[in-house]
Structure 1
Amino acid sequence: MFPLFHFSALLVAFALLCAASPAPSSSVEAETVRKCKEIRVHKEWRDISVEHRLAYIDAVKCLQALPPTVPGTGATSRYEEYAVTHVNLTDRIHLVGQFLPWHRHLGNLYAKDLRDKCHYKGPMPFWDWARDGDNEGVPIAQSPIFDPVTGFGGDGVPGTYTLPSPNIPTVTFPDAYRGCVLDGPFAADKYSLHLGPGILRTEHCLVRGINETLKHAMTTDVLEEQLRIKTFAEFRETIDNPRALGMHITTHAPIGGEMKNVWSSPGGKLIRHNRSSSRRLYYIDGPSTVNGTDSVTLDFVMDFPLLGPNVTIRDVMDLTKEPNCYTFDY
């Protein structure tokens, strides 16, 4: 689910988080074109009014009901075109220099569709998981994000889902597929996915497997420790290291199910922004392909088939310019 939670496939790699200044523009004319008419404020899910939470959920369901813009891709709706794009480009957008900016702009396109196609008027939500990690004695599953009425439904129920084949390489972490979500607006009797797990194309429920033992990795202390890392090499290795439970891993692993699959995680993602992607601007470093040697630059072109026109990394570096035009309310 793209909605709010497949905190989607933000596999952070080859990106150096830092307090970066905006990327320079090539001309005054370009600056004028990219000037924002409005700076929107993205808010943490529980800081949004109940009215806007429900409106956001309705907008997501609206996008799921709209037909795909291009037939024959495997997507059954406009919503699933985001998942198809992510599945098809997985090897080009993870563990590479364009990882973070590509996913940032994916969020831009998704937010634009919610506003333009489904008329959502409220703030775009993000999940600050450290607020749940710091909440001692309260399980992750009791976070407001999993509320069955004003959230995205709860944990998967054991015995309600069987993997089509746990031996397929792209069906990663089969033990994380606990079961179908049976409550909330995206419960099994109301909603089906048609992509995943992995690169498979199967109709199935929204699957989760919340892992409470990983809550210790979601705290502010853990996050801030990673943000204090000085070198790019160490930072990259830490945030995407399963053993270190880096900040990218903690956007996926504690939720389990589809969210833990690098290819099809957008199918279970309910919010397009999370704390790791919203904390700061960042510099980009690293190869443009997995195991590649040519580093990306600010002029590297990123493509978004089915979703929108190509953009460069430079285009999305500055939150205060188009196509971003937003900030975060902490």
Structure 2
Amino acid sequence: MFRYPILFSILLLINILPTIFAHPFDNTYNGRESFVRCEHILQRKEWRSLNTAEKKDYINAVKCLQSTPVNEPSVPAADTLFDLFQGFHIQIALKVHFVGQFLMWHRYFLKLYENALRDRCNYKGAHPYWDWSKDVEEGRNISSSPMWDVETGFGGNGVEGTYTPPTDPDVLANGRINPDAFVGCVQDGPFADLTLNMGPGLSVTKHCLTRHFNESTHQYLNHTAVEEIMAYETFEDLHTQLEGNKGIRGPHGSGHSAVGGEMSNFFSSPGDPMFYMHHANLDRLWRVWQLKFDKKRMWEVGGLTGLEANSTALTLDYILEMNPALGPSVSVRDVMDTEMAPNCYTYL
């Protein structure tokens, strides 16, 4: 699903979107301040290693974001802070996928989401991650993962027949919507009553959270697949294999497709809270790779900054564009080391 024909009209629209906001998010770090060593480093853990209270604290914080009102002219359909994250991803998706800054931009986007959980919703923990390789080994299925527990997880599969996706061919094509992935609404767990204001794709419609578990992705998410990717010796190879590209179905797209529904969409996938769990695991794998060999891996980048023919090579000084209401734009250099500000986290 995550192929990338250049959609010129959409890209033009993105380029003219306003970037001035009425209520900037309160972040004090920027520029060279990011080289300050952290006073406290958060320890991000796999979801299964959290106790019941920790899991519920995280879920409650996400629900808090989903009820924290915002009024941002740049994303007029966003009613809540959770919406604002999704809306900005929809706007910038074509600039941050299948490019060299894919991992860097999503690392920073996830960090700002973690900040929002902690600063706006009183969450005390670090952002957890979902190691999907644990769910596809030894004959296991994604659908039987404890991630979908209705009490200590994210709720289950969509119920067939409870959601009708768009039918307009142009809406489907421009929004990269696969109708087969949108079988129904999630009707159990903490997000059963969630109303999304954007998506699927580029649509602006109020609808339920949808899922459609897909068991055909196991071979791209298992330990063998991960080990093969982690053995690559250059960043450009790592990021291409991890994200996926033409002819390559990597863990990134496969994780999205495994959940299905909103998560499967190129633009609107952050409408499912599982988006952040999935991307935390991708970020973890990159971090492990950075530490695996020698210090130079910490600062190694590669790839191009865009999909256009005249795109330039990614450098450490390239600026990662961010919505000011979520956080300031920072350089690639600023996010490379997770144990330096503004990041201040590690993985267990």
TM-score by length of 1: 0.85
**Most deviating of 291-300 and 44-53:** 291-300
Q: Which residue of 1 aligns with 2:16?
A: none
**Greater RCO, 1 or 2 (C-alpha within 8 Å, sep 6+):** 1
Aligned amino acid, residue 135 of structure 2: D
- 1:78 is displaced (CA, Å) by 0.9
- 1:216 is displaced (CA, Å) by 3.1
Q: Which residue of 1 aligns with 2:251?
A: 247
Aligned amino acid, residue 147 of structure 1: D
Kindly tell me: are residues 91 and 120 of structure 1, through their superposed partners in 2, closer, same or farther at Cα, counting changes over 3 Å?
Answer: same
Contact 2:337 2:343 in 1 (8 A): yes
Q: Which residue of 2 aligns with 1:115?
A: 118
Kindly tell me: are residues 31 and 200 of structure 1, through their superposed partners in 2, closer, same or farther at Cα, counting changes over 3 Å?
Answer: closer
Contact 2:110 2:280 in 1 (8 A): no
**Residue correspondence of structure 1 range 172-251 to structure 2 within 5 A:** 172-187=177-192, 190-231=193-234, 234-239=237-242, 240-241=244-245, 244-251=248-255
Kindly tell me: are residues 313 and 33 of structure 1, through their superposed partners in 2, closer, same or farther at Cα, counting changes over 3 Å?
Answer: closer
**Most deviating of 41-50 and 281-290:** 281-290
Aligned amino acid, residue 180 of structure 1: C
SS of match in other structure, 1:252: helix
1:53 and 2:84 are equivalent in the alignment: no
- 1:69 is displaced (CA, Å) by 4.7
Q: In structure 1, how many angstroms separate the alpha carbons of the residues matched to 2:33 and 2:331?
A: 15
Contact 1:84 1:195 in 2 (8 A): yes
Q: In structure 1, how many angstroms separate the alpha carbons of the residues matched to 2:346 and 2:61?
A: 21
Greater helix content: 2
Aligned amino acid, residue 174 of structure 1: P
Q: CA RMSD in A?
A: 2.2
1:325 and 2:344 are equivalent in the alignment: yes
SS of match in other structure, 2:156: coil
Kindly tell me: are residues 32 and 289 of structure 1, through their superposed partners in 2, closer, same or farther at Cα, counting changes over 3 Å?
Answer: closer
- 1:233 is displaced (CA, Å) by 5.7
- 1:118 is displaced (CA, Å) by 0.3
Q: In structure 1, how many angstroms separate the alpha carbons of the residues matched to 2:231 and 2:35?
A: 35
Q: Runs ≥4 in structure 1, deviation > 4 angstroms? A: 29-33, 231-237
Q: Which residue of 1 aligns with 2:91?
A: 88
Contact 1:48 1:123 in 2 (8 A): no
The structure 2 residue matched to 1:99, chosen from 99, 102, 111, is 102
Contact 1:130 1:218 in 2 (8 A): yes
- 1:33 is displaced (CA, Å) by 6.0
Kindly tell me: are residues 235 and 35 of structure 1, through their superposed partners in 2, closer, same or farther at Cα, counting changes over 3 Å?
Answer: closer
- 1:257 is displaced (CA, Å) by 0.8
Q: Which residue of 2 aligns with 1:298?
A: 316
The alignment-based identity, stated in percent, is 40
- 1:141 is displaced (CA, Å) by 1.3
Contact 2:157 2:213 in 1 (8 A): yes
**Residue correspondence of structure 1 range 235-314 to structure 2 within 5 A:** 235-239=238-242, 240-241=244-245, 244-270=248-274, 271-272=276-277, 273-279=279-285, 280=287, 281=290, 283-291=300-308, 292-305=310-323, 306-314=325-333
**Most deviating of 314-323 and 278-287:** 278-287
Aligned amino acid, residue 333 of structure 2: R
Greater strand content: 1
Contact 1:241 1:249 in 2 (8 A): no
- 1:285 is displaced (CA, Å) by 1.4
Residue-pair matches, total: 300
